[in-house]
Structure 1
Amino acid sequence: MSQINELLDGPSMNRALTRIAHEIIERNKGIDECILVGIKTRGAYLAKRLAERIEKIEGKPVRTGELDITLYRDDLSKKQDEPLVREVDIDYNVKEQKVVLVDDVLYTGRTVRAALDAIVDLGRPKQIQLAVLIDRGHRELPIRADYVGKNIPTSGAERIVVNLVEVDGQDLVTIHKAE
């Protein structure tokens, strides 16, 4: 894989997340009924960052949680033979709440579909919204993001790589193409 282009650096990523935080507050008329749920791994860190921004804007904390969708994937056999079982870390009842799922890259929609199944297993939310840092297109399911940091049209041969300080030591989004 060779790097083609840098899409977002740290400051650009911060601006995109700040904009998404404002959009979440505006659309939901505050955050009282909202729970931000990050899809592990990078989506969980992005959800925490959004929560920090929202708390600074609103002056009160927003509820957060993490979701591991490993067992809900419909392509599990392609990923690994033995699924890893991890706990869902959502300390709040999702019933009648607005759940904002957060992920790093929206591609085929299969990860989001799995996350929807996992959330509904916890209860019936009032609404489920989706926030993503990057939307790269190529949907296989009728899923769209409500909040997008950046739309990046890609080809099937390209790959988006999201690096976060918490995991990778730097904030950077790049696009790669197979050689």
Structure 2
Amino acid sequence: MIEKAEIMDEQAMQRAITRISHEIIEKNKGIEEVVLIGIQRRGVPLAKRIAQKIKEVEGIEVPAGILDITLYRDDLSTLAEHPVINGTEIDFSVTGKKIILVDDVLYTGRTVRAAIDAIMDLGRPTMIQLAILIDRGHRELPIRAEYVGKNVPTSKNEVIHVKVKEIDEINNVTISSYDN
């Protein structure tokens, strides 16, 4: 794997989070009934950052939950003999809520499909919207994000790495490729 370039530094990531937060407020005409749910792993700190930014702007705390989609994946049997379960922590009802699913990278759409299945098992939201830091294309399912930090066209042999301080001790986004 060869690192090719840094796509976003810490400041660019923060600007994207700020913009996404404002877009969420605008599109939903405020934050009434809005909740954020971060997809394990890196979607979780991103959801918390969006919640914090919305609180700074609106003065109201938006509930933020954690969703583990491991058992909903359609490739579960190919992941590992004993997949790691990070846990779901949603201490609010999803029924009747406007859910903003948050993840780091949108690629094939399969993670988002699994997340929607997991949420529907918890209740019946009014709507589900998707906020993504990086959209790299190559969709296999008809899924699109309402809120995108940055569109990065990639080839299939490239990989996007989102790093967040809470997990990786650095905030940035890089692109790498497999050595061919």
Where do 4+ consecutive residues of structure 1 move more than 4 Å?
none
Q: Does 1:57 align with 2:57?
A: yes
**Alpha-carbon deviations, 1:100-150, whole Å to 9, x = none?**
000000000010000000000000100000000000000000000010000
* C-alpha deviation, 1:84, in angstroms: 3.3
Which amino acid in structure 2 is aligned with residue 51 of structure 1? A
3-state SS of 2:66 partner:
strand
1:5 maps to: 5
Deviates more, 1:84-93 or 1:16-25: 84-93
1:72 maps to: 72
Q: Partners of 1:28 and 1:100 in 2: how far apart? A: 10
For normalisation by structure 2, the TM-score amounts to 0.98
3-state SS of 2:121 partner:
helix
Q: Partners of 2:6 and 2:41 in 1: how far apart? A: 21
Matches within 5 A, 1:81-160: 81-160=81-160
3-state SS of 1:143 partner:
coil
CA root-mean-square deviation: 0.8
2:15 maps to: 15
Alpha-carbon spacing, 1:29–1:9, altered in 2? closer, same or farther (3 Å): same
Q: Partners of 1:148 and 1:2 in 2: how far apart? A: 26
**Alpha-carbon deviations, 1:130-174, whole Å to 9, x = none?**
000000000000000010000000000000001101111110100
Which amino acid in structure 2 is aligned with residue 80 of structure 1? A
Q: Partners of 2:113 and 2:80 in 1: how far apart? A: 19
* C-alpha deviation, 1:77, in angstroms: 1.3
Unaligned runs of 5+ in 1: none
* 8 A contact 2:40–2:86 mirrored in 1: no
Alpha-carbon spacing, 1:78–1:10, altered in 2? closer, same or farther (3 Å): same
Which amino acid in structure 1 is aligned with residue 3 of structure 2? Q
* C-alpha deviation, 1:80, in angstroms: 1.0
Which amino acid in structure 1 is aligned with residue 123 of structure 2? G
For normalisation by structure 1, the TM-score amounts to 0.98
Q: Percent identity?
A: 59
Which amino acid in structure 2 is aligned with residue 67 of structure 1? L
1:178 maps to: 178
Which amino acid in structure 1 is aligned with residue 139 of structure 2? R
